Amino acid sequence: MQIGTAAGGIGVPFSFNLTYLPAIIHYNPGANPLTSLRIESQEKGVMHDWNAAAIAAENGFMAVGPRTANEVWLRVADGELRPQNVTISGVTSAVGAVNFFAVSANKGLAAYKSSSLALLALNPTSIEKFTACFIPAMAAGDYAEVTYDDGHSQRWDSTDLLEAAAQYQEVPGIIINNVDGRIKQCYVRVAVQQTAYLLSVIPPK
**Which tens digit of pLDDT belongs to each residue from 81-136?**
999 999 999 999 999 999 999 999 999 999 999 999 999 999 999 999 999 999 99
Can you point out the beta strands (E) in 19-149? 24-27, 36-41, 45-51, 72-75, 86-94, 98-103, 111-119, 125-127, 132-134, 143-148
Q: What is the pTM of this model?
A: 0.95
Q: 130-181, pLDDT tens digit by residue?
A: 999 999 999 999 999 999 999 999 999 999 999 999 999 999 999 999 999 9
> What pLDDT sits at residue 204?
72
Pairing of strands 194-202, 36-41: unpaired
DSSP string, 54-92: HHHHHTTTT--S---TT-EEEE-BSSBB-S--EEEEEEE
In the beta sheet, which residues pair with residue 119? Answer: 194
CB atoms within 10 A of CB 131: 22
